[in-house]
Amino acid sequence: MTVLVFDDAGAASRAAADKIQAVVKEAVGQRGRAVLGLATGATPEKVYGYLVRLHTLGELSFHDVITYNLDEYYPIQPLDPKSYRSYMYRHLFSKVDLQPQRTHLLDGTVPEPFVDEHCAEYERWIAEDGGLDLQLLGIGRNGHIGFNEPSDRSVEEALALRTRIMELHPVTRADAAREFGSVEGVIPRALTMGIATILGAREILLLATGAHKAEAVKLGLTGPVTAKLPASLLQSVAPRVTWMLDQAAASDLDRTADTP
């Protein structure tokens, strides 16, 4: 896997935005459209800020971009400010020329008996759009990617996981308490792309910033491949994965990483 370490979160986010811009231009040039897998949370906010800036400067158009987000709380209404649909609208969709019908998120309003079918349908849409050109990822303190939480599954089973409904891990709930006001207030379930869905992307860009991510980053990059630390499963598609880190998130790594 390629590991790039930047001075601070701003520089890492800027590099992630530049990478997304390059992927969009190349895919649109080659196939007439680009398919991006997007992430939410605190980490990518700056990335979206830079993408909006590139758009405002006339250097990046989203006209031919199709987006699929990683995950969404369940159940949740799209207009709830804590929904990831709202997050994406606030940080990106309302500020660039993305066509609304080309922005996809898992639907937190699907009645429970139809959740499995909705998740299967999401997989079909991605496949019909030609697969993801690039998947942007964050990493949880417990090593989750999307809401693929640590588990006791075998590596083989974990690598086969598709889009589905999940219970949030206690660490994830604790971290989400920021937005929900308390741990008890956190919506305890979510819909998430699976590990197999994520690993199917032609390129994967994991962005991690802050010292609180250092341990998960170290384990994901250099620890054993295990479903107990879902980000470690990225090692199975290593040539397609780039980690962009700030100094703090890289602080547990030895200094063999590439510094741009």
**Closest distance of CB 45 from ligand PGA, Å:** 8
Tell whether residue 138 is a contact of ligand PGA (CB under 6 A). yes
Check if 142 is active-site: yes
Tell whether residue 108 is a contact of ligand PGA (CB under 6 A). no
Among 37, 75, 108, 140, binds ligand PGA (CB under 6 A): 140
Residues in 33-92 that interact with ligand PGA by CB under 6 A: 41-43
**Closest distance of CB 212 from ligand PGA, Å:** 8
Residue whose CB is less far from ligand PGA, 41 or 194: 41
Residues 6+ apart with CB under 8 A from 169: 140, 142, 144, 149, 150
Contact region with ligand PGA (CB under 6 A), list: 47-55, 111-119, 134-142, 222-230 = 134-142
Strands 189-192 and 103-104: unpaired
Residue whose CB is less far from ligand PGA, 138 or 200: 138
Tell whether residue 139 is a contact of ligand PGA (CB under 6 A). yes
C-alpha dihedral, 12 to 18 to 19 to 24, nearest 10°: 150
Check if 63 is active-site: no
Q: How far is CA 196 from CA 136, 145, 157, 164, 223, in A?
A: 15, 12, 10, 11, 20
Choosing from 69, 71, 133, 148, which is the catalytic residue? 71
Amino acid found at 25: K
One-character DSSP codes across 99-116: -GGGEE---TTS-GGGHH
Q: How far apart are CA 191 and CA 168, in angstroms?
A: 10
Closest-CA residue to 247 (of 214, 205, 206): 214
Amino acid found at 249: A
Choosing from 55, 144, 148, 169, which is the catalytic residue? 144
Choosing from 107, 133, 149, 203, which is the catalytic residue? 149
Residue whose CB is less far from ligand PGA, 4 or 190: 190
**Interface positions with ligand PGA (CB under 6 A):** 41-43, 138-140
Residues with a catalytic annotation lie at 71, 142, 144, 149
